Amino acid sequence: MKNTIADIAHKAGVAKSTVSRFLNGGSVSHATRRKIEQVIQETGYIPNSFAQSLKAKKTSMIGTIMPRLDSFSASQTVAGMDEELREHGYQLLIINASQDLSREIEALYDLARQKISGIILFATQVTETHLAAIKEIGIPVLLLGQQHKDVHSMIYNDYAAGYDMGRYVLSKGHRNIAYIGVTEKDVAVGVKRKEGFLKAVSEHVGVEVNLDLYESGFKMSDGVQTALTILQSNRTLPTAVVCATDNIALGVMKAAHMKGIQIPSEISVTGFGGYDVTEVIHPGLTTVKYGYFQAGHLAAQHIIKLVNDEPADLLTVMNCEMIHRESVDNLN
Amino acid sequence: MKNTIADIAHKAGVAKSTVSRFLNGGSVSHATRRKIEQVIQETGYIPNSFAQSLKAKKTSMIGTIMPRLDSFSASQTVAGMDEELREHGYQLLIINASQDLSREIEALYDLARQKISGIILFATQVTETHLAAIKEIGIPVLLLGQQHKDVHSMIYNDYAAGYDMGRYVLSKGHRNIAYIGVTEKDVAVGVKRKEGFLKAVSEHVGVEVNLDLYESGFKMSDGVQTALTILQSNRTLPTAVVCATDNIALGVMKAAHMKGIQIPSEISVTGFGGYDVTEVIHPGLTTVKYGYFQAGHLAAQHIIKLVNDEPADLLTVMNCEMIHRESVDNLN
DNA sequence: AATCATAGTGGAACCGGTTCCAATCAAGTG
DNA sequence: CACTTGATTGGAACCGGTTCCACTATGATT
């Protein structure tokens, strides 16, 4: 019951090469075609994909390395990628780096050994080691979420998102604002969003704006902590808390609720991300929606181009969309 | 720059077999060991894993087939599996079946062709076709979430969860209850939870309980729809709505909010699942928490046993834990 | 000194496919 | 009818590893 191509050939009374040709659409006479078909039918023969890949020196697999699996953005994006890749006959191999940069590197080499055709790397930071690995493995790599001049990259327009959010909050009359950011090691989330936001503030001439900057971790519980220090300080409370991620914003909302502070009447809150939950909670969270699913599709299309040596933009910037909900009060 | 084992052997002035022995810990003299080490160092040689697997006739990969990636339970479980598998030197290959049963079957054969060592199947339904495929591919398969007498299975104690929830809601004095279930094709979620709940109700002698059963889809929007039909009917509103999943419960809460109905003072709501969001929303959702992450670990351990032909329980039942929050009013 | 393990090594076969090349054979051409 | 053409087909080499087997030294044992 081993069923190799040689067995099939033998049972059908032909040579290996003929069976192979049959399988790959070469020229085979009608008679032998039928015989082989029948034998394959009977035996339930399935070609060994190693032997195939060994000869072909590549696979039809695309690898993706993600810092975590259990996040809304990650799973949405991956779902989109998967859909697109499947349509093009590629299989997606997902590797979880558990937010450990050295595991990302490891994964790059791992994927190279497996002769993966291309790699989509969900980046939070792009270090020298990353670049060295990417260069060494000689496989097309697409950065998702961060950019680097030497690597194909796909990013969201975080600067614009931050800017839009800033303009919006200011337009609602808020002049005493707390901004909760994240580590600047994450250029997209930690730097760009903040810069865009600051830009909006700096452009807002005529009235004085009091802006306090805080830094928090990515987890909701981090958001709760940071929010509590803000809410418990002796200074006047800000009228709005702008958070660099929806997760942090959810944490802030929780903290406010714990403190009996009403949203938005006593304090306004905003996020970034557009997670599904932000819609169903009350009040709904004003946020910036990122098209994760669509981004996955785009990323897949992009890596397929790279794999096939087709031309592709070095940098793709995707736009975001502001979602206005009830968590921001109008002070005007 | 092809770097095969033959190249290394040539450069080091030894035979292929010696290099192979060096790589796999055979007996190699100190001198040649050093030479080979150096050549490998210089060339950055990485063995071709196809050739290895071709000979070995298997991989150190475990495949998992999931109906969807973008769900809390799925991503949590997968994260747990991944952690455990990695520790044991296995790699996880994730396949997304997009809630399409025929794709699940396809995936089973796909994984078989790739000589995956074992498969963890996130099941919602186990059809005859599934069983036939599982039998045919001859690879260890572990069902997760559903059980079948012929296949190793791992399930949550949904019956007990439903029962506990029933007892709890009744103990809070609710006598007019709406139960929103899902399709009975999903035995675990659609049948077991409901049965457990009904059992609790049937045991509750002495007072009359008015129970209405509804069926909804799995999506939050389905929950909203179903809730609206309940809330808009002319009959007296139930005092509690018990939902078969957290997602549906979130939908119900949203619908209630849209209708200006207060939770829990006007209507109580419960879910199943223990999603993270159920904690941060207000009011917090009373639900049953499933240990997804831990389940992932367990599943991984289980499939590893199967792969190594070690004995393993045919059926593993995992317990759940009720989480009491504010979404249920005490009518006593 | 003769005998015997034994560590170290090279050669060749093998895993299961794909592909190049040469051979065959029937139909078409002048 | 000899010759060209093109469709089929089988044989052998190859992809890049692993492993069995035979052969050499080398040191240990009587």
Residue A94 has pLDDT above 90, yes or no: no
pLDDT band at B175 (very low <50, low <70, confident <90, very high): very high
Q: If you classify domain B158-290 with CATH, what class do you get?
A: alpha beta
- Average pLDDT over chain A reads 91
- Residue A215 neighbours by CB under 8 Å, 6+ apart: A180, A181, A182, A183, A226
> In which residue ranges of chain A is CATH 3.40.50.2300 found?
56-152+292-313, 158-289
Q: According to the model, what pLDDT value does residue A1 have?
A: 60
Distances (CA, A) of B331 to B197, B238, B264, B268: 19, 13, 10, 10
Instruction: Kindly state the tokens that stand for B232.
Output: 């808009």
CA angle, B38 as apex, B32 and B40 as ends, to 5°? Answer: 100
Q: Strand D closer than 7 Å to the CB of B48?
A: yes
Max avg pLDDT among A64-68, A98-102, A230-234, A312-316: A312-316
Residue that wins the pLDDT comparison between B164 and B56: B164
Chain D bases near protein Cβ (<7 Å): 7-21
Helical packing angle, B193-203 and B158-171, nearest 10°? 40
Q: Any idea which architecture B5-47 has in CATH?
A: Orthogonal Bundle (1.10)
As beta bridge partners, residue A119 has: A63, A141
Q: Which residue of B has its CA nearest to A220?
A: B280
Query: Per-residue confidence at B1, pLDDT binned at 50, 70, 90?
Result: low
- Strand C closer than 7 A to residue B24 Cβ: no
Task: Spell out the residues 6+ positions from residue B135 whose beta carbon is closer than 8 angstroms to its own.
Answer: none
Domain A158-289 belongs in CATH node 2.60.40.1180: no
Using the CA of A4, give the nucleotide whose C1' is nearest.
C16
- What is the average pLDDT across B210-218? 94
Give the strand pairing for A152-156 and A118-122.
unpaired
| CB B241, CB B252: distance < 8 Å | yes
Class of domain B57-156+292-318: alpha beta
pLDDT of B177 > 90? The answer is yes
CB contact under 8 A, B53 and A50: yes
The confidence band for A122, taking pLDDT boundaries of 50, 70 and 90, is: very high
Neighbours of B75 (CB within 10 A): 25
Q: Kindly tell me if the per-residue pLDDT of B314 is higher than 90.
A: yes
Mean pLDDT of A271-290: 91
Given an 8 Å threshold on Cβ–Cβ distance, is B110 in contact with A92?
A: no
**A56-152+292-313 has which CATH code?**
3.40.50.2300
Task: Give the number of residues written for chain A.
Answer: 332
Whether the predicted pLDDT of B46 surpasses 90: no
Task: Find chain B residues with C-beta within 8 A of A71's C-beta.
Answer: 75
Q: Which of A151, A57, A66 is nearest to A113 (CA)?
A: A57
Distance CA A203, CA B58 (A): 62
Long-range contacts at A13-20 (CB < 8 A, ≥ 24 apart): none
Q: What residue ranges of chain B are covered by domains with CATH 3.40.50.2300?
A: 57-156+292-318, 158-290
